[in-house]
Amino acid sequence: MDLLLILTYTGMCIAIFKIFNIPLTKWTVPTAVLGGVIIIGALIILMNYNHPYTANARQVYTSVPIMPLVRGKVIDVPVEPNRLIKAGDVLFKLDPEPFEAIVRQRQAELAAAQQQVPQLYAQLASAKATTASAKAVRDRTQQAYQRYADGRKKGGKNSPFSELEVENRQQAYLAAEAQLQVADANEMRAQLAYESTFDGVNTSVASLQSQLDKALFDLEQTVIHAPTDGYVTQVGLRKGMVAVPMPLRPVMTFIPKEEAMFVGAFWENSIKRLKSGDQAEFIVSAQPGIVFKGTVRQVMPTIAEGEFQANGNLRGAETFFKHSRALVIIDPEERFDEFHFPMGISGHVAIYTDHFHHVSVIRKVLLRMQGWVNYIFPFH
């Protein structure tokens, strides 16, 4: 851009010298050179500070790594590469047979557990009946023991009940009391088993239901769908391959369909002049001679070269004091999408602030000249 400005001034000087027949003397040539240094220097300073330009610009986009949530053999890849697809369209399928077998197993286990709930109720009812029977036996043996003991106490040596008979009745009572305690314990165990619930459902049934839900979820994951509208590119997945849910090994790359976004890397000396809403223009090498308009969305609040993360390694000076630029996000006009450029193309960007607005005209002219030069070969 600066070279174009110098060449333009040089061309104007040559034309003036030729048209007006100005002689090349020790006064005219230095005057033209000095005038060029002053004029071009002032323009460059004003433009670079108030209307910055960068040749380091590129359209950026987000890619989504696609990986299955379950391990399986690929049986079908119906998606067509580099063709726009809708959200929910099938990308590829895994063999569902192992997961269907697990679902059937969990369904059988759940059915068996559900059948056990009435059995637990029946066991509780049986335990209650056993407890009632044991209590009746205990009460009967207690009364018999008490009658024998009272008769022995009142009759003394003349009592019809011997000491051995009283002791036998006492042992029968104690045995009945022990049986009642066992029955009570069995009833409590049966009641706890029957009343063991989670959200009103038997715990065994709830546990198996959750396992069935997990098996059904895994079965659904054997068919991988497009997360949004977009397309996949460079598809290398084929039938017979084994897809593994590993974050570092995606099997497919999905490109969501989103609004185009340009990012330019600008010198840091002019970023304080930039703000959201400033007008911008950019050119791309793929379409020489055409200037696209845009709007500054945001000046990125961070610069990557100053990043620091806590780890066990010491950071040297070269990490922080590398040459860096500030990134500016630019939203291009809608007309840009009509050209269907490959995503990720590079370009040149100029931003026009409200300061020294009249100088921006020169920047616009130079940007268009740069776009015309792209007909010959792209400058970067």
CA angle 217, 223, 224 (to 5 degrees): 100
Mean pLDDT of the chain: 87
Tokens of 186: 């069995």
Higher per-residue confidence, 156 vs 40 = 40
What pLDDT, on the 0 to 100 scale, is given for residue 191? 81
pLDDT surpassing 80 at residue 153: no
Residue showing tokens 């590829």: 92
- Asked whether the beta carbons of 215 and 102 are under 8 A apart, the reply is yes
What pLDDT, on the 0 to 100 scale, is given for residue 13? 85
Confidence of residue 5 (pLDDT cuts 50, 70, 90): confident
Total residue length of the chain: 380
3-state secondary structure 243-274: ECCCCCCCCEEEEECCCCCEEEEECHHHHHHC
pLDDT surpassing 90 at residue 291: yes
pLDDT surpassing 70 at residue 1: no
Instruction: Classify 340 as helix, strand or coil.
Output: coil
What pLDDT, on the 0 to 100 scale, is given for residue 127? 85
Element (H, E) at 66: strand 64-66
Q: Which amino acid is residue 217, in one-letter code? A: F
Cα–Cα distances in angstroms (integers) from residue 176 to residues 19, 135, 226, in the given order = 134, 8, 72
How many angstroms separate the CA atoms of 179 and 165, rounded? Answer: 21
Please give the torsion angle defined by the CA atoms of residues 340, 343, 344 and 348, in that order, rounded to the nearest 10 degrees.
20
- Residue-wise pLDDT for 113-138, tens only, equals 888 878 877 888 888 898 898 889 88
Q: Which amino acid is residue 192, in one-letter code? A: L
Please give the CATH architecture assigned to the domain spanning 2-61+258-309+318-373: Beta Barrel (2.40)
Domain 64-94+222-252 fold: OB fold (Dihydrolipoamide Acetyltransferase, E2P) (2.40.50)
DSSP state of 368: H
Q: How many CA atoms lie within 13 A of 264 on its CB side?
A: 30
CA angle 336, 266, 6 (to 5 degrees): 90
Cα-Cα-Cα-Cα dihedral sign, residues 11, 16, 22, 28? negative
The set of residues, in sequence order, having a beta carbon less than 8 Å from that of 127 and lying 6+ positions away, is: 183, 186, 187, 189, 190, 191
| Helix 203-220 vs helix 97-155: crossing angle, to nearest 10 | 180
What pLDDT, on the 0 to 100 scale, is given for residue 243? 92
> What are the sequence ranges of the domains in the chain?
2-61+258-309+318-373, 64-94+222-252, 98-217
Q: How many CA atoms lie within 13 A of 336 on its CB side?
A: 24
Lowest mean pLDDT among 86-95, 119-128, 253-262, 280-289: 119-128
- Asked whether the beta carbons of 82 and 269 are under 8 A apart, the reply is no
